[in-house]
Structure 1
Amino acid sequence: MKFKKIITTLLISSMSVLAFAGCSSEETDTSSAETDVPAEAIVIQIGFENSMSEPISQGLVEWQRLVNEQSNGALQIELFPDSQLGSKNELIDSMLLSEPVMTLADGAFYADYGVKDFGIVFAPFLFDNWEQCWTLIESDWYKEQSTLLEEKGLKIVSSNWVYGDRHTITVDPVNTVADLEGMKIRVPSNQIQSIGLDVLGATSTGMAFNDVYQAIQTQTIDGAENSLSGLYGRKLHEVAPYLILDAHVKNFTTWVMSADFFNSLPEDLQTILVETGKQAGIYNNGLQETADVEYLQKLIDEGVTVTEMTPEITAEFKAKAEAFYDHADTFGWSEGLYDTVKAAMGE
């Protein structure tokens, strides 16, 4: 995989910068003590599979702005949508070689990279609401998992980003969980999400998101699961006009990079990167909330048939999903993990 070389030609002369460590943009005081700006900017390339029209991409634009502003240009972010830098797995592999790249990833991927217990956050129907997600990411359990991941070479920079409820779009109608039986549904290429769909009766198929449209069009697969913004952004409804709002996963996403590269940054830039990541996450979440309503209406207006989840249908899906936890040994989970996580998320 070829990566664009790090841009290091931005020369900055005779400029002053605030001592930002620990400060948010709202707390910035322009009269603070001065420090020297590095002669060359440090550039982090963020590669992701989404199109720039999606809310999460606009959240990244805000992060890009905040990093540049708060570091006074010493730290820069470059954005590469539509898998331009490679697949998620390729990007993560490059991080393990200390490349200065970042991508969005989730517990299911971290499980595949050695922190097995992290995978449970992508279990189907684990969360009932977003508050449980935010309680979990602030818990000691989550911090422990993040530390274990860092020991594997991957640093989670930010976790408070809503990617969205993940729903399923298909070529034929799905009105009950039984209708998924035998359907080939695209999932990201990881074990957790694959089994999460398989237990519902579907046949999971791992592939890059930018390959999905053609795969549905050529009848290689029968549908895909993703957030409303992701489904609409890829125009999948043009080839798969049926949507069930199953919300099988409440997908909070994380931004991850090389632990070695992160630790090589000056401490003030580490702080800026983490703090602005949180600020941009809050910005993203506001966009996502508004966009979900708008995207659903767009899908309906453009001919999609939508199935809402009644309490009866939800109960059917949840009952079917219970088989997922029978795979605890397959996933290599710690004993009693489900109960531990339920307690950590406030239940």
Structure 2
Amino acid sequence: MKRVIVLLAAVILMISSIAVAMGTQDTINGTKTIALSIAHDNHPGDPLTEACNYWATILKERSNGTMILTCYPSGQLGSKNDLIDQMLAGDPIMVVVNGPFAADRGVNDIGIIQAPYLFENWEQLDKLMASSWGQEQKRRMANIGLQVIADNWRYGVRHTLTTKKVVHPSDLKGMKIRTQGSTIHIEGFRCLGATPTPMTLSEVYTSLQQGVVNGLENPLSVLYSGKFQEVAKYLALDAHIYDLSFVCISSNVFEKLTPTQQKLLIETGLEAGTKQNELAVKADAECLQKLKKEGVTVSEVSFKEFQTAASSFYMNKDITGKWTPGLIDTVTNIINK
């Protein structure tokens, strides 16, 4: 039933937005209005959701009402893979995409930005994406239809919340951990001995209750806003990924916008990204204290121990075999300069 509802919502959005993508909506003072959507898994109150709402507000204001952005949180329009498929099909939807999802669609090298335990701070990622290598990855994404609107959305530092205590990598052995549906996320937990179990965030709470999964990973604010601490009481601060995400739109839809509209969409998207980052830093600090207060046992684990345990990931030919030869050295040289 849920799948039927999701499919119906997606069909309704597609039908109602075909004309929008072609710029044939009502006009305001002679200017055609453009209606766009942004959809994601996160819940109301989460920094990403708040940032999307902020973006909608400033885009409408600064375009004098000629550019309208509607936000769809909580997986209302489907999983991230569903959303990307809709976007690539030409629907006027923006999606928060991270490297692994772009890698699964052919931009293989960009997946390394979410390889497990590779980055130790945000500055390393900023340096990498500002480099010529980073700019080339964004060009490649645009070539397959993923036009990057904003590349500064720090989704958060991803940690692991479980129903059993995790202090060492060996504690994860056999545990069913909810992951995103991307190959790199899946293999990032498989190399630690866990059983990765992809599903949308909206399914996780019930799955934890029923024992379908034994844990999940995400930034602290996402874990708290989803109320997962009610059914999983152990948090390992392993910081396995610094999740820098991109907000993307269909390249075809983007090219149908006027230069002024393109510029305004990018400027407001970057500003909303800065807003999201500020909210995320504040929310993570607050949520850590709230999680502790609500009975979650927090473990400060050894990053180096987990990093060593994940080393087999970098020997997985199903992943590294698709990368440009020497990619790991290229990336580590850039971030360690």
What TM-score does the superposition give when structure 2 sets the normalisation length?
A: 0.92
**For residues 73 and 229 of structure 1, what CA distance do their matches in structure 2 show?**
32
Corresponding residue of 1:319: 308
Shift of 1:90: 0.8
Deviation per CA, 1:201-245: give whole Å up to 9, x if none.
Answer: 211111111111111111011000011111111111111111011
Secondary structure of 1:201's partner? Answer: coil
**For residues 11 and 275 of structure 1, what CA distance do their matches in structure 2 show?**
23
Corresponding residue of 1:339: 329
Counterpart amino acid of 2:251? Answer: A
Mapping for residues 250-329 of structure 1, pairs under 5 Å? 250-309=242-301, 313-329=302-318
1:215 aligns with one of 203, 207, 214: 207
Q: Contact 1:158/1:256 (CA < 8 Å) preserved in 2?
A: yes
**For residues 346 and 139 of structure 1, what CA distance do their matches in structure 2 show?**
13
1:12 aligns with one of 28, 47, 53: 28
Q: Contact 1:242/1:305 (CA < 8 Å) preserved in 2?
A: yes
Shift of 1:154: 1.2
Residues 64-73 or 299-308, more deviating:
64-73
The structure number with the bigger radius of gyration is 1
Shift of 1:343: 2.6
Question: Please, what is the CA RMSD of the aligned residues?
Answer: 1.4
Secondary structure of 1:162's partner? Answer: strand
Deviation per CA, 1:7-59: give whole Å up to 9, x if none.
Answer: 6765423xxxxxxxxxxxxxxxxxxxxxxx51x31011111110121011111
Residues 186-195 or 326-335, more deviating:
326-335
Shift of 1:164: 0.8
Q: Contact 1:184/1:202 (CA < 8 Å) preserved in 2?
A: yes
Shift of 1:114: 0.7
**For residues 244 and 186 of structure 2, what CA distance do their matches in structure 1 show?**
18
Corresponding residue of 2:64: 72
Secondary structure of 1:303's partner? Answer: coil
Secondary structure of 1:318's partner? Answer: helix
**For residues 63 and 317 of structure 2, what CA distance do their matches in structure 1 show?**
44
Corresponding residue of 1:201: 193
**For residues 59 and 125 of structure 2, what CA distance do their matches in structure 1 show?**
26
Deviation per CA, 1:133-188: give whole Å up to 9, x if none.
Answer: 11122111111111111111111111101111100000111111111111010001
Corresponding residue of 2:4: none
Corresponding residue of 1:330: 319
Q: Contact 1:141/1:344 (CA < 8 Å) preserved in 2?
A: no
**For residues 336 and 253 of structure 2, what CA distance do their matches in structure 1 show?**
34
Residues 327-336 or 94-103, more deviating:
327-336
- In the alignment, is residue 173 of structure 1 matched against residue 160 of structure 2? no
- In the alignment, is residue 116 of structure 1 matched against residue 132 of structure 2? no
Corresponding residue of 2:128: 136
Deviating above 3 A after TM superposition, structure 1's stretches of 4 or more consecutive aligned residues are 7-11, 328-331
More helix by percentage: 2
Q: Contact 2:25/2:34 (CA < 8 Å) preserved in 1?
A: no
Secondary structure of 2:206's partner? Answer: helix
Q: 1:132 to 1:330 in 2, by over 3 A?
A: closer
Amino-acid identity (%): 41
Q: Contact 1:49/1:83 (CA < 8 Å) preserved in 2?
A: yes
Structure 2: any 5+ residue segments left out of the alignment?
1-6
Shift of 1:199: 1.0
Corresponding residue of 2:3: none
**For residues 3 and 171 of structure 1, what CA distance do their matches in structure 2 show?**
38
Shift of 1:344: 3.0
- In the alignment, is residue 238 of structure 1 matched against residue 230 of structure 2? yes
**For residues 136 and 249 of structure 2, what CA distance do their matches in structure 1 show?**
18
Corresponding residue of 1:156: 148
Structure 1: any 5+ residue segments left out of the alignment?
14-36
Counterpart amino acid of 1:12? Answer: I
Secondary structure of 1:73's partner? Answer: coil
**For residues 222 and 113 of structure 1, what CA distance do their matches in structure 2 show?**
29
**For residues 271 and 166 of structure 1, what CA distance do their matches in structure 2 show?**
32
Q: 1:161 to 1:113 in 2, by over 3 A?
A: same
